[in-house]
Copies of this chain bind each other. A is one copy, B any other.
Amino acid sequence: MASPASLRVGIAGLGTVGAGTVSLLRANAALIEARAGRPVVVTAISARDRSRDRGIALDGLRWHDDPLALANDRDVDVVVELIGGAEGPARRLVEHALGNGRPVVTANKALIAVHGATLAASAERAGVALAFEAAVAGGIPVIKALREGLAADRLLRIGGILNGTCNYILTAMRESGRGFDEVLQEAQALGYAEADPSTDVDGIDAAHKLAILAALAFGRPVDFSSVHVEGIRSIGALDIGFANELGYRIKLLGIARHTERGVETRVHPCLVPIAAPIAQVDGVFNAVVAEGEFVGRLMLEGRGAGAGPTATAVVADLIDIARGSLVPAWGASSGALSALVSVPMSERSGDFYLRLSVLDRPGVIAEIAGVLRDCGVSLRSMLQHGREAAEGAVPIVLVTHETSEAAMQAALEKIAALDVVLPRPTMLRIEPG
């Protein structure tokens, strides 16, 4: 019998993940061939700087200065897009490859979150795969778990810790008692945070991933623009300490819920009970929690970033393509997706944590409690310590019973306007985890 034809791979972008993918395909070539049923080999490359040392040999690979050329290369069966970014060359390459009838594997969460619906429709027209396991939670095969493993169930909730940089920072703040800025600098020095950290610490990266998870979980077109996004810059060492004292951990969570009114998607820091499984997920680890009507609660935990974990996801997609598997990008064909609406953040309700810096004088608590009562916000507990937050001011922490976002926002505005309350109260949501 003739040996089966190789799957010939063209890779655009040779950063950490690109170089990791080349290394993995070489290191595990025999094993990958056994599982794919045929060899999977890199034949062409496109990257910005031909001379940079990436720790991998590039001899024998065709080099294209223009990534679009990969999509036209006759010796490329599948295009791997690792350039990044929702627009520009990444988007043009993926559109062009699908238009040319080439399957695409990408790790690009921004592109898939923003243009995933249109791109999936192109892939469908061409009858080829658009695969993006590496776009969410690195080495955790969560896309496959949702799209295939849990395909029979109606999911009620999906989300979790989707950004390792933020989880590293929050964990290090808790363990060391240091503030956000100092820990961020350390994370940058260690390579866990980018020089410009805003995509991570402002929650945008997590929001891209959450939009993708929510689309898969609820079987509806991906909708990044509806995700409510808040980052972790406002979290202080005081909050970490108070949360601990109250029996919580602070985590940046992505949360998508299928409610009676539609789909709620939001990324923000929250307090979760220390006993919740997700509260135990520390450092650079990611964790995805899913809850389905029949399957109950599932949690998948692992490394959400890095060359090795992300490369395993890229190559798993390549193996699926080599095997001839063809599952629609969003789990069902574009025409079979549901028309579930997005629910605005203002319709959420839950418990809240509020930290205020107040002037240390009699009657302050009564004044604040009065505002909350007038806004219909009911208090569960209050913490006050002598610790000084600023000259003549003391921090107090209030925890509410279940309250609507609208009521809480109204109360917060009134409280912030009180003379006895110093600027910038911190409001955090409490979630079951």
Contacts and interface: CB of A to CB of B under 8 A. Distances in A.
Interface in A23-42: 24, 27-28, 31-32, 34-37
Interface stretch (A315-323, A378-386, A390-398): A315-323
Interface of A: 20, 24, 27-28, 31-32, 34-37, 133, 139-141, 144-145, 148-154, 219, 277, 280, 292-303, 306, 308-309, 311-313, 315-316, 318-320, 323-327, 331-333, 336-337
B139 A298 contact: yes
A292 B280 contact: no
Contacts of A327: 323, 325
A150 B312 contact: yes
A287 to B, nearest CB: 9
Contact of A308 (B293, B303, B324, B336): B293
A141 B148 contact: yes
> Is the contact region of chain A dominated by helix, strand, or loop, or is it mixed?
mixed
Contact of A144 (B149, B295, B336): B149
A141 B149 contact: yes
A149 B294 contact: no
A296 B139 contact: yes
8 contacts: A28-B153, A34-B219, A37-B332, A152-B315, A277-B301, A294-B309, A296-B302, A323-B327
Given A141-B150, A152-B316, A323-B327, 14 more contacts: A28-B153, A28-B154, A34-B332, A34-B337, A139-B292, A139-B296, A140-B298, A149-B316, A151-B319, A292-B312, A296-B303, A298-B302, A299-B300, A323-B326
Contacts of A324: 326
Protomer copies? 2
B280 A295 contact: no
Nearest to A285: B297
A311 B296 CA distance: 12
A302 B300 CA distance: 9
Given A34-B332, A280-B280, A302-B299, A24 B294 contact: yes
A45 to B, nearest CB: 19
Contacts of A325: 325, 327
Nearest to A138: B295
A297 B293 contact: no
Task: Specify which of A293, A315, A316 lies most central, judged by the most chain B CB atoms within 10 Å of its CB.
Answer: A316
Contacts of A332: 34-35, 37
A131 to B, nearest CB: 11
Contacts of A300: 298-301
Given A150-B316, A219-B34, A316-B151, A302 B308 contact: no
Contacts of A133: 149
B336 A34 contact: yes
Given A295-B308, A309-B294, A151 B302 contact: no
A210 to B, nearest CB: 20
Of A36, A150, A306, the most chain B CB neighbours within 10 A belong to A150
